[in-house]
Amino acid sequence: MNLLFYPETERLLKEANIPLVPGKLVSSEKEAFEAAEGIGFPVVLKLVSTLIIHKNRIGGVRLNIVNQRELKEAYEDLLNKAKTLCGQQEEWGILVQKMISKTLEVAIGAYRDKGFGPVLMFGLGGIFVEILKKISFRLLPLGPKDIEEMMEETRICQLLSTHMKSPSIRGNLINIISNLSNLFLSKPEVKEIDLNPVLIEKSGCFVADAKIILLHD
């Protein structure tokens, strides 16, 4: 597996102007508490590692932590999981993130297809994505009209307008898609980027989780 470790993923996304949910990688419970205080409760704790692709499946995400007592319990839980799952060689850490009360989750991804070359995927995220299959694809590079059409096809346009009137949210989302496209096209060594979920709330759109997989080690 050539999964990039969190700090590197974070750096690449920041460079590309893709907004992440504010967070900090910590290596002790004390640091975790300081980070949580800095960000402000409630927070989310996540086990991040170059080994773990699906954090949820191993219980590596603890949502809505409201105080120090809960933080301690969650931290210890994730630490234990890390010790059982990750060997000496793997990089891992615990990420403290701001808990965002989102109204809508979307997923944005890019990958290299054998026939099509670079492809962009955009769709409804979270638990509905598998059932509703509201996903749309375009080849990269793409133009603003393509992004608009993807938002139409997936009905995210309509969902956005019922949840949020602000046109800036739509603009934020379009920016993330186009910045991700540019990032992916400028990095031929990257095999796949997956931003899922991207949380949409009143103040904007934020990437809560991102995976970047390289073609080679």
Q: Contact between 150 and another protein (CB under 8 A)?
A: yes
Which single residue is written with the structure tokens 């949210």? 169
Specify the 3-state DSSP secondary structure of 197: strand
Residue 204 bridge partners (DSSP): 201
Whichever of 136 and 172 has its CB closer to another protein, that residue is: 136
**Of the candidates 40, 117, 167, 188, which one interacts with another protein according to CB under 8 A?**
117
Give the interface segment with another protein, choosing from 46-54, 77-85, 108-116, 190-198 (CB under 8 A). Answer: 108-116
Whichever of 138 and 170 has its CB closer to another protein, that residue is: 138
Nearest distance in Å: CB 138, another protein: 5
Burial zone of 11 (CB within 10 Å; 0-12 exposed, 13-18 middle, 19+ buried): exposed
Among the listed residues 4, 146, 183, 195, the single contact to another protein using CB under 8 A: 146
In angstroms, what is the minimal distance from the CB of 118 to another protein?
A: 10
Token pair of 86 as six digits: 């990750």
The structure tokens 């007592």 sit at 69
Query: Is 145 near another protein (CB under 8 A)?
Result: yes
Is residue 115 close enough to count as binding another protein by CB under 8 A? yes
Q: How far is the CB of 144 from another protein (least distance, A)?
A: 11
Count of residues interacting with another protein (CB under 8 A): 16
DSSP string, 2-25: -BPPHHHHHHHHHHTT-PBPPEEE
Cβ closest to another protein, residue 141 vs residue 167: 141
Phi first, then psi: give them for residue 5, nearest 5 degrees: -80, 155
Site for another protein in 53-82 (CB under 8 A): none
- What is the per-residue burial (b if ≥16 Cβ within 10 Å, else e) of 20-30? bbebbbbeebe
Q: What is the DSSP string of 143-190?
A: -HHHHHHHHHHTTHHHHHHHH---HHHHHHHHHHHHHHHHHHHH-TTE
Out of 139, 158, 161, 215, the only residue in the binding site for another protein (CB under 8 A) is 139
**Closest CB to another protein among 153 and 194?**
153
Q: Establish if 116 lies at the interface with another protein (CB under 8 A).
A: yes
Which residues of the chain form contacts with another protein (CB under 8 A)?
113, 115-117, 119, 135-139, 142, 145-146, 149-150, 153
